[in-house]
Amino acid sequence: MTVALVLLTLLVGAWLLAVIEAWLTTGRLRPVAPLLAGLSHLGRESILARKPDRLFFETAPVLLLVVAVLGAAVLPLAPDLVIADLATGALFLNAVLAYVLVSLIMAGWGPNGAYAMVGGWRFLGQLIAYSMLIVMPITATAMRAESLLNSAIVESQAGLWNIVYQPLGFVLFFIAAIALAFRSPFDLPTAPGELAGGVDAEYTGVRLAVLRLARLVMVITLSAATTVFFLGGWQGPLLPPWAWSLIKTLAVAVSMLLVGFYLPRIREADLLGWCWKLGIPLALLNILIVGLLILVVP
């Protein structure tokens, strides 16, 4: 039952996100368009590039989808609405998200195409940039909760949400989450208009449909993670817990879209530079501030 509800939430979230994205870019609200596009992909040819690494080529889209769903599986949407509230939930989320890199390198390597290859290796550079900014803010939330249980992290924010308690961590995590989901302005591995689609370039038909679905689900998963770690999860007045989770998750997802909508794509070298020269010192400062706050304010 829980599994069905979470999967349904992910699918509906992905659909809403696709609708809103199309609305932003075309100015027209067409709720059925993403469904039709998905269906039409089923009827299209799914071409296999010449001399591919077949195993990698086939694994990449499936792996990305599995990763996105497994990430969502450890995030509580309500006190009892979580597929598996692992004792090491926060760590598990990190471990799972590392496989986004594996999937994209596979997608880049698989088709034996130059653009895809560049896109895949670029994402490795991107991971080196954003990765610390994902884990360090999560650690700071775990410090406050004294636990890696995601539900405990939500409960620790009962009095004061982490976005107020550690705003620095929230900002860093939010930016890093966009980079992890490789959405604009950090869409270096796909880079439409520059890399001819990058890792997406050789995927057609049903494989492309799975890849796109996985990307949308990934955004929802990361928005849900932002909600759980920084926005107090299911907590809120009046409405039932699951409604608060949904509202916050969607709000974060849409704000991610909006950020990407108004910013130009960043260069890989600049991304690495900003993350390591500014981001990581700030993330360490965030841990220090949170540590002092925990010790001084009981």
Partner 1 sequence: MSATQQYLILLGLALGILGAVLSLYGLARSLGATRQEPGKDVPASAGVLSRDPVWGRYHARYYGYALLFLAFDMEMAYMYPWAVVFKEVGLVALLDMGVFLAILFLGLLYGWSQGALRRQ
For partner 1, the binding residues in 186-225 under the rule CB under 8 A are 196-197, 201-202, 205-207, 209-210
What is the enclosing helix (H) or strand (E) of 103? helix 99-109
Which structure tokens are listed for 216?
């949308």
**73 versus 175: smaller Cβ distance to partner 1:** 73
Which structure tokens are listed for 1?
């039952």
- Residues 228-267 vs partner 1: string with x where CB under 8 A? ----------------------------------------
**85 versus 155: smaller Cβ distance to partner 1:** 85
Give Cα 210 to chain centroid, integer Å. 16
Q: For the purposes of burial, counting CB atoms within 10 Å of the CB of 3, is it exposed (0-12), middle (13-18) or buried (19 or more)? A: exposed
Compute the least distance from the CB of residue 243 to partner 1, in Å. Answer: 24
**17 versus 211: smaller Cβ distance to partner 1:** 211
**209 versus 246: smaller Cβ distance to partner 1:** 209
Residue 158's nearest CA partner among 232, 86, 229 is 232
Which structure tokens are listed for 70?
């497994």
First to last CA, the chain: 39
- Name which position in 61, 76, 233, 260 contacts partner 1 (CB under 8 A): 61
290 contacts 165 by C-beta, under 8 angstroms: yes
* Phi, psi for residue 78 in degrees, rounded to 5: -155, 170
**65 versus 222: smaller Cβ distance to partner 1:** 65
| Per-residue three-class SS string for 167-186 | HHHHHHHHHHHHHHCCCCCC
Per DSSP, the three-state class of 79 is coil
Cα 239 from Cα 138, distance rounded (Å):
27
Binding range to partner 1, per CB under 8 A, among 121-129, 225-233, 248-256, 258-266: 121-129
- Name which position in 146, 164, 192, 263 contacts partner 1 (CB under 8 A): 146
- Residues 21-50 vs partner 1: string with x where CB under 8 A? --------------------xxx-xxxxxx
**24 versus 87: smaller Cβ distance to partner 1:** 87
- Name which position in 90, 175, 178, 266 contacts partner 1 (CB under 8 A): 90
Compute the least distance from the CB of residue 161 to partner 1, in Å. Answer: 18
- Name which position in 106, 142, 175, 199 contacts partner 1 (CB under 8 A): 142
- Name which position in 14, 16, 69, 191 contacts partner 1 (CB under 8 A): 69
- Name which position in 5, 143, 254, 289 contacts partner 1 (CB under 8 A): 143
Cα 249 from Cα 12, distance rounded (Å):
12
